[in-house]
Amino acid sequence: MVNKCQSSPGTTDESESALQLIASKCHGTGAKDLRDIFQHTLKSCKQRTKCFREVFVRKLTDEFPVLSPGQIEALAERYKSLSHPEKVWACRSSDIPEAVRILFRAAFDQRVDLRELCAEADGSPWRIAQRASPWTPYRLHEAYKRFVWNFSHNDFRITKPATESTAQDWAPQPLNVQAKSTEGVEEALARLKHHMAAYMISPAALADYFEFNVPSPVDRMRGETATIDLFRRGLSNLLCALTQDTPLTQADVNCLTAHFAPSYRRLCTAAAGVPIPVPQVELDALDPGSILMKASDVHLMPHCKAFDNNRSGCVRVWDLSQILARANIHASQTDVQALAQAFGRGDGWIDYTRMCKAAERSAAAAGGREQQDNLNGIRFSWNVWPTNKLDHTRIVVPMGALYTPLKQTTNLNFFEYEPVQCRTRDCNAILNPYCVVDLRSKTWACPFCLQRNSFPQMYAQVISETMLPAELQPQYTTIEYILPNQAVQPPVFLFVVDTSIYEEELEQLKDSLQQCLSMMPPDALVGLITYGTMCYVHELGNQDMPKAYAFRGTKEISSQQVAQQLGFAVRNDPRGSTGGQGSRRFLLPIEECEYAINSVLDDLQKDPWPVASGKRPQKCTGVAMSVAVGLMETTHMQQSARVMLFTGGPCTIGPGMVVGTDMSEPIRSHVDLQREEKNARYTKPAMKYYNAIANRAVHAGMAVDILACNLDQVGLYEMKVVSEKTGGAVVLSDSFSMHVFKASFQKMFELDQDGYLQMGFNSKMDVLTSREFKCCGCIGACTSAAKKTSSVAETEIGESGTTEWTMGGLDRDTTYAFYFEPTATQAASGGGPRQSYLQFQTLYNHPSGRKRLRVTTVSTRYADQISDIATGFDQEAAAVLMTRFAVTKCETEDPLDVMRWVDRMLIRLIARFADYRKDEPNSFRLAKEFTIYPQLIYHLRRSSFLQTFNASPDETAYYRTILMRENTNNSLVMIQPALLQYSFEEGPPQPVLLDASSLKPNVILLLDSYFHVVIWRGETIQAWFEAGYQDKEEYANFRQLLAAPEQDAKAILNDRFPVPKFVQTSQGGSQARFLTSKVNPSVTQNSTSGGFWRRKLRWVLTDDVSLQKFIECLIKLAVQS
C-alpha cells in the first residue's frame, strides 16, 4: 500500500541501521533507552517551548554519539508523527494509515512501549492509573484504552483506500453471514498468524484491539449497530495497519468474518492454537439480561449515582464502560452497545434506574446459574428440564441441584414468627412467591399439592394488591424464620485428645486448645477426654481436686455403661437424656471452668504406658470415641453438640483398631485392600464399628470432627464414616505444629459480624417437589431420616429412599447434591408441564440459642425439545454433580470401572449434543454450553478422587470427604486447579492454561489445587532470587514481583477451610511435583514435535495422555457410527 507520508527508501534504510546500532550498543537494553528518549522529548514538547524534532535530535546526539547526523535525521523524520496528538490530528486522511502503522510498529518491535507513549500523549488517564496500586491491571488498561478511543475514534478506522490502486482490494463486499464453510479459513488464519508473529502480536493484544476498535458512542446513536460489519471493519483496520508489503486480501477478511463473527474471542482463540476454547469471558450477543448477569452480587446503583452529577436518574452513554468496570463487569463494546439500545433515551443518555432494576431481575430472566447461586445458594446441572424419563435418559447427565443451606445470599431476610404452611398432611409446603393468591377469598394455592389454603388472620387483614407479605414477593425466594418460643441450649464442645504422641506434638496441641478456648463464646459448654492405653473422662466441676474416670481401652463400652460409671441416675426420658445436674461435673460453660480446664491441660502429660522398641504406642481411639458419644447421648441428647477428636496415630488396641502394635506389620494400602492381604484384616471390623458409632451420633443429633496429624496414616479411611454421616469437619496434616492444623482449628471458632459462631447444629432438611418429578437421593455430609413420601423416586442415588435428611453440623460452605428424575415415562400428547417447583426447608439450631428455619423455593422451566434443554446446561454444576456421583460409586465399585463409566457418560453426552457428520471428526462442532465440560472430566480422571496410585487410603478418604461437603466453586478448583502467572513481560498476574507449556523459565506460577497452594519459580527467576537481586534497591520491581504471588497465596490461605498446605518451590525442585502432577502433559518425554519451544520447555515425565489427545479420541468415539 502506498501512502503520501511514507518516507523515502533511503531514509528508511538509514533509520533501520540506526535502530540496529542502538540495539547492539545497549546489548539488549536499547528498547529502554529509546523509550526514555521518547518520554523526555514528549514531556519537553508539552512545555510548548521546544519543538519535538529539536529535542529529539539533541537527545539522540547526546545518548548515541556513534550515530551519524543522517541516521539521527532519519529517526527524527520517521517518528515525527508521534510527536504530539495535535500533529496526528492535523494529518490528512491519507496520512492516517502510515501514522497508525508507525504507532503499532514502534510498539510491537518493543522499541517503544505503546502504553507509556499513549500515556505521555494524554496525561489525565495516566495520572489516574498512577494512583492505582501496581497490581490493579484493569485501571491501567482502561486508561490506555480510553486514550486510544479518544485519539482515534474518528480517524483510526480506515474505511477508504489510501490510493486508487488498492480501492478494489479494500472495498466492502457482500457477506453471507449464515455460511460457516471452512473453505479458505485455514489459509486465511495462517496468513493472519504470520503477520501477528511478524509484528509480535499476542492473541490477548489482538482481543484488546478489537475491544477499542468499535464505533464511538456518537456513531452508535446514529444507528451503526451491525455486529458483523463491526467485526469485518475491525479486522480490516487491523490488517491495513499492520501490513505494508503483502497486505491480505478482502477475501481473507470476509472468510475470517464469516467463520468467526460475531465472537472475536473465537478468532483470538484460534490464533492462539488452543485445542479447546477457553471459557468465554464476555457475551457478544445483544442480550441486556445476559450482560447484566455478569454483575453477580455487585450492585450497579452506587456506581451509576457517582456519574449522575445532576441527580437526574440518567448517565451518558460513554460513561457506561467505566460504570461497568467499577462494578467488576468485564463487558465488551458490543455489550455496552446492547445496554445503550435497551435502556437509552435516544439522546445520548441512559436511564440507569431501569437498568439497575433489570440487573436485579437478571437471574430469573437469564435462567439463574451463578446469579441463582448468589440469590438462593443453588445451582442446577440443567436449568431447563425434560418432561419425561425418556428425555431424561437422553440428556445423560442427571437432573441435579447443588444446594448450600447456610450460604450468605443476597437479599436474605429474617422474620421472627412462625411460617405459613400448607394444610395438606403430606405436603407442609411453606408460603412462597410461586403460590397463586386469590385476594377476594383471601386464599392461596400451593404449587406442590395444588391445595387451596386460607391466610391466617393477621395476613388476611392487610393483604392487597399493593400490600403483599414478603413471602409472596418475587425477590424473596429465600427466607429465614427465627422461630419464637423455641430456645435451645448453648453449643457443647467435647474435646477428645490423644496423649500417646511425642511430647513436642502434645505441647503444640495443648497450646492450640488453650488458644481456641479463649476464642469460644463464654456460654459455650466444654468437656475433656484424653486417651492412650486407657480412656479418661475429666471432671471439671471440682476445681479443688482434679478427678478423672478411667475406661479400659480394650473393651467395647456402651452408653449405658458410660452413664453408670460416671454416676448418672438412669431414668426413662423420651429424648434419651439421663444426665440432669450430674452433667455439670463434666460439661460446663467456659466462663465457669476456664481455670479448671486450663489447669488440666497444663498438667497433661504424655501417656505413661511404656512403648517397647519396634512397637507402636497403644491407642484406644475406638473406645474414646464410643465414650465421648455415650457421654453426649447421656447428657445432651438432640442438642447443639460437637465431639472433636484430636488423634496423632492409628488405633492399635481395642475395638476400631486398624493396625497392630508391631512395627513390622505395615498399615494397609490400596493394594492390600484390593488383594485382601493379612494386614488389611482389621479394616472391615473397624468400619463396622465406626459405622455403629456414627449411627449413635446421628440419633443423638451431634457432629463428630476428626483432626488428625501424623506423617503416617491414622486410620481416617475407617473413621471417615463418623464425620460423613454427622456433618463433622475433617482436617489432615503432618504435625500439630504445622500451620494447616493450627489455622484450620482456629477458623472453626471464628465469629461472624454479630458475634456468633459460623456454624449450625442438629439440623434436618426436607425437600418438597411438585408432582412432575421426584427426588432420587442426596450425596453429602448427611444421613437419611427414612421419611417416605410421594416425592421419593424409584432410582436410588446416595442417601436415598427419603425426602428428609439429618445433619449434626453444617457451616456456610456445606453443600449437598440432590438428584431428581421426571415421573412421566414418555412425552404427553397434549404437551407436558411448563414449570417445576422445588422447596428446601432447613431447620437448625443457631449458636445464638434459637431455632431457625431457612426456606428456599425455586422454579425451573420444562422443555419438550432436546435443543431447548441444551441451552440450560450448566457445565460447572454438572461436573461437580457427576464427580460426587462417581466418588460415591467408588465406595462399592472398583475405581477403574468407575473411570470407564465416567468415560462412557462423557462420550454419550458429547455425541448427543455435538454437531457433526458420521465418521468425520473434522466436522465436529460442540455448542458453547458444553465446551468446558470435557476438559473438566479430563482433569477429574487424573485427580486423586479416582486415581489411587501413589496415594494412601487415608489421603484418598480425606480428599473425597472434603469434596462431599464443599460448594461448587471450591469443588471446581479441586477438579481443575487454577494457575496464575506473574512476569515482567505480561505485567499484572494473568490466568494461564493448566498446561506444561506454561512452565517457562522467566515466570512465577501460583497453583491453587484447594489442598495445596504452590508458588513455583522458573529457572531464570530462581537464579535471580539466589543471586539476591531482590535485596538491592535498584531491583525493587523484582522484589515486588516476588511479593505479589505471596500476597495472593496468603489471601487464599486466610479464606479457606481446611487451610491448604503452602509450598514454595522452583523449576527442578523436589516439591515441583505438586505442580507438574496437575498440569496437562502437552510436552513429555514421548513428544515427537520439535522446534524452539521444545528446547525451552521442561518435559513432564508421565505416561498420561495429554488433553489434546484426549479430545481427539473423544471426538473420534463420538462421531463413529
Residues 413, 507 within the same domain: no
Burial of 440 (0-12, 13-18, 19+ CB in 10 A): exposed
Report the candidate in 403, 363, 405, 396 with the shortest Cα–Cα distance to residue 380. 403
Identify the residue whose cell numbers are 488517564: 125
pLDDT at 297 over 60: no
Kindly report the CATH number assigned to the domain that includes residue 461: 2.60.40.1670
Residue 89 lies in a domain: no
pLDDT tens digits, one per residue of 33-92: 555 666 666 656 555 445 667 777 777 777 777 778 887 787 777 666 554 433 333 333
Angstrom distances, CA of residue 497 to CA of 493, 601, 621: 13, 10, 10
Share of the chain above pLDDT 90, in %: 47
β-pairing verdict for 534-539 and 525-531: antiparallel
Number of domains into which the chain is organized: 3
Q: What residues form DSSP beta bridges with 689?
A: none
Q: Can you tell me the mean pLDDT for 980-991?
A: 83
Residues 705, 561 within the same domain: yes
Report the candidate in 367, 349, 227 with the shortest Cα–Cα distance to residue 290. 367
Query: Are the CB atoms for 880 and 864 separated by under 8 Å?
Result: no
Report how far residue 1068's alpha carbon sits from residue 562's, in angstroms, rounded to the nearest whole number: 56
Residues 562, 481 within the same domain: no
Instruction: Give the range among 136-140, 322-326, 473-477, 921-925 with minimum mean pLDDT.
Output: 136-140
pLDDT tens digits, one per residue of 216-247: 333 333 333 335 555 666 666 555 544 444 45
Residue 440 lies in a domain: yes
Residues 725, 613 within the same domain: yes
Q: Which residues contact 301 (CB under 8 A, 6 or more apart)?
A: 352, 356
Report how far residue 816's alpha carbon sits from residue 840's, in angstroms, rounded to the nearest whole number: 11
Kindly report the CATH number assigned to the domain that includes residue 354: 1.10.238.10
Residues 576, 635 within the same domain: yes
Q: What residues form DSSP beta bridges with 461?
A: none
Q: Can you tell me the mean pLDDT for 914-930?
A: 90
Identify the residue whose cell numbers are 442446577: 380
Query: Are the CB atoms for 1037 and 985 separated by under 8 Å?
Result: no
Instruction: Give the range among 108-112, 475-479, 892-896 with minimum mean pLDDT.
Output: 108-112
CA 645 vs. chain centroid, Å, equals: 31
DSSP summary character for residue 911? H
pLDDT tens digits, one per residue of 584-600: 889 999 998 888 999 99
Question: Between these two residues, 69 and 958, which has the higher pLDDT value?
Answer: 958
Type of residue found at 917? R
pTM: 0.70
Question: Between these two residues, 178 and 62, which has the higher pLDDT value?
Answer: 62
Peptide bond into 247 cis (omega under 30): no
What pLDDT, on a 0 to 100 scale, did the predictor assign at position 2? 33
What pLDDT, on a 0 to 100 scale, did the predictor assign at position 132? 31
Residue 943 lies in a domain: no
Q: How many CB atoms lie within 10 A of CB 417?
A: 11
DSSP summary character for residue 976? S
Domain boundary among 806, 839, 873: 873
pLDDT tens digits, one per residue of 430-450: 999 999 888 888 999 999 998
pLDDT at 1087 over 90: no
Question: Between these two residues, 516 and 127, which has the higher pLDDT value?
Answer: 516
Residue 451 lies in a domain: yes
What pLDDT, on a 0 to 100 scale, did the predictor assign at position 82? 52
pLDDT at 11 over 70: no
pLDDT tens digits, one per residue of 603-654: 999 999 989 998 999 999 999 999 999 999 999 999 999 999 999 999 999 9
Q: First and final CA of the chain: distance in angstroms? A: 52
Residue 389 lies in a domain: yes
Question: Between these two residues, 1103 and 813, which has the higher pLDDT value?
Answer: 813
Residues 358, 459 within the same domain: no
Residues 691, 557 within the same domain: yes
What pLDDT, on a 0 to 100 scale, did the predictor assign at position 41? 65
Residue 134 lies in a domain: no
Query: Are the CB atoms for 768 and 820 separated by under 8 Å?
Result: no
pLDDT at 125 over 60: no
pLDDT tens digits, one per residue of 1004-1055: 999 999 999 999 999 999 999 998 888 888 888 899 999 999 999 999 999 9
Residues 644, 514 within the same domain: yes
Question: Between these two residues, 802 and 339, which has the higher pLDDT value?
Answer: 802
pLDDT at 1069 over 70: yes
Domain boundary among 747, 770, 799: 747
Report the candidate in 59, 325, 374, 343 with the shortest Cα–Cα distance to residue 211. 325
Q: Where are the alpha helices (DSSP H) in 447-581?
A: 457-460, 503-519, 559-566
pLDDT tens digits, one per residue of 303-320: 787 777 666 778 877 677
pLDDT at 952 over 60: yes
Residues 548, 667 within the same domain: yes
Question: Between these two residues, 29 and 471, which has the higher pLDDT value?
Answer: 471
Average pLDDT, the chain: 78
Report how far residue 306's alpha carbon sits from residue 303's, in angstroms, rounded to the nearest whole number: 5
Report the candidate in 953, 1061, 945 with the shortest Cα–Cα distance to residue 716. 953
Report the candidate in 309, 240, 281, 296 with the shortest Cα–Cα distance to residue 97. 240
Residue 403 lies in a domain: yes
Task: At 211, give phi and psi (nearest 5°).
Answer: -65, -45
If pLDDT is split at 50, 70 and 90, which confidence band does 208 have? Answer: low
What pLDDT, on a 0 to 100 scale, did the predictor assign at position 34? 59
Angstrom distances, CA of residue 788 to CA of 183, 428, 776: 60, 14, 12
Share of the chain above pLDDT 70, in %: 70
Report the candidate in 864, 941, 946 with the shortest Cα–Cα distance to residue 907. 941
Domain boundary among 839, 856, 873: 873
Residue 839 lies in a domain: yes
Domain hosting residue 600, numbered range: 492-747
Residues 541, 680 within the same domain: yes
Report how far residue 844's alpha carbon sits from residue 225's, in angstroms, rounded to the nearest whole number: 54
What pLDDT, on a 0 to 100 scale, did the predictor assign at position 243? 44
Residues 300, 410 within the same domain: no
Instruction: Give the range among 143-147, 196-200, 676-680, 761-765 with minimum mean pLDDT.
Output: 143-147
Rg value, the chain, Cα: 34
pLDDT at 1065 over 60: yes
Kindly report the CATH number assigned to the domain that includes residue 498: 3.40.50.410
Q: Per-residue DSSP letters for 818-835?
A: EEEEES-SS--TT---SE
pLDDT tens digits, one per residue of 528-580: 999 999 999 999 887 777 889 999 999 999 999 999 999 886 544 544 444 45
Strand order across the beta sheet in which 1061-1066 lies: 987-991, 978-983, 1004-1008, 1012-1017, 1061-1066
Angle between helical axes of 739-747 and 503-519 (0-180°, round to 10) = 20
If pLDDT is split at 50, 70 and 90, which confidence band does 940 have? Answer: very high
Report the candidate in 700, 749, 747 with the shortest Cα–Cα distance to residue 722. 700
Query: Are the CB atoms for 627 and 537 separated by under 8 Å?
Result: yes
Among 461-465, 967-971, 1085-1089, which range has the highest average pLDDT?
Answer: 967-971
Residues 477, 497 within the same domain: no
